[in-house]
Structure 1
Amino acid sequence: GATNFLVGKKAPAAGGIKVVSLEGGTAANVVTPKCTLIVEGDIQVAEKDGITVEKADGRTIVTAMGVGAHGSTPELGENAAIKLLQAVEENDFGGDFQNMMQLLLQKFGTETNGATLGICWQDEETGETTVNLGVVKYTEEEASFTLDIRYPKNAVPETVRENVKQAAEEYGLGILECKSVDMLYVSKDSELVQKLLKVYETETGDHAEPLAIGGGTYAKAFQNMVAFGPEFPGEEASIHQPNECADVDRLMQSIQITGAAMYELAQK
């Protein structure tokens, strides 16, 4: 299952250091690849790889570059928002920017399984909890960030919502939006999955076991449905990355496999 949160506060309280803006991320389900902070005056910035500092018109502009990754595998990326906040955390910003920064660093940081929040579950079939910080924003109108939290079949969704709520309130923030999606789980022993495995082995000559992934697919929109391809074992995944692409020969092979699967599933 999965729950997406927008955590923050409308009309955040200003602090001693005037924060003009904080902006990072492109989507809730992508690890923040870039984050920029603009403040009035000078601030301390720790030297880190991927951090640049500019001075212009009496302002300090700090930019952090991370590594994007799919929200279901945040451990494969490097979150630029966390990197930036770590670089400036020695400053006493005050106000709700300070609150948001401390919440993100102390309850999330570089951790991607929700252990500090008490929401880390593990299951042999459906994996481990993942927590992705996607979009971060701070302006005079709103301080907020998104969380994309995905959890295995033995998780307790109510605990996820309650623990995130408690963590936010501890730092004077709240839940602005919250949306959950039930887990799609079809047994590997089902007729559907067994037929698909048979087709794959016939067409490729490879014996494969079904996989459970954290990523959401359109299969969730239907009953008794699973995602089938088109990525092959051993391929370098470029999903949600710059220059996302697919090999043409593999795409053609996938079309052939899909056609054979449609024929097999249509048989009684």
Structure 2
Amino acid sequence: MTKERRIRIDGTDHRLLISDEPQALLAAKAAGRAVLGVENAVQGDWSLRGIPYVVPGWEYDTEELEELILRRHLGLPWMIDLTERLMIREFVKGDVKQIPKEEYAGEEAVFRSEETMEQYIRSQYAFYEYGTWALVRRETNELVGMAGVSSPGAEIFEQYALRNLPEKSQWLELGYHIFEPYRKLGYAREAVTAIAEYAHEVLSAELLAVIHEKNQASRAVAECLGMRVVEERKLSHRDVTAQGNGTDRKWPQGYLLYAEC
């Protein structure tokens, strides 16, 4: 069976072909169209190689999924959420121009140029369907910061036993960074509250965060979500105070592992 959907995005109509017939899908894809494959048990084992999105049955085809596929096909950002003051969406190349150079930390080097930003968008969002997202002030369309979730890095597993975390289907690390002119306005709490809900409902994940013990602003943001400290690394006399307005995981000492549990 083959169906065609007409979907309006940003005021323009687009078409998506949905089918459980391999030839129809491959022909449409070859013609440059957006497609969604549906597994067909009656036909037995058949290859959907080259079809980027496949669902196990027609009942899994939703309007939200259809819009996501079209946005991926058109290179448009996926909208994560709209809060009272913020639009939380995927980054686009043009956002590079709005990120103040002094705001870059080592882990944010990927956002320094349009080339690396484009690579991040293509590899991170399309493959994982999550990542670091843009925080845009709805009233002025200004980029006020970035926040999102990522797979916990090896440093976390090396430095923390994670033995105090209950077994869950998936743990993701929460990160947030508000740019200097927009701090102390509640944007971080507003953003992470929406992101936590998205992580739970869409990604079926629980959240953790690694925060320096002296970063009271970031600790307060994590605690507003009900996160609590499950493990810590004490400061030694050689450690120095962490700077910044987000979560970090660079030093083995002086850091707290927060988690939802």
> What's the TM-score bracket when you normalise by the shorter of the two chains?
under 0.3
> TM-score, normalised to structure 1's length?
0.27
Q: Which of 1 and 2 has higher RCO (CA within 8 Å, sep 6+)?
A: 1
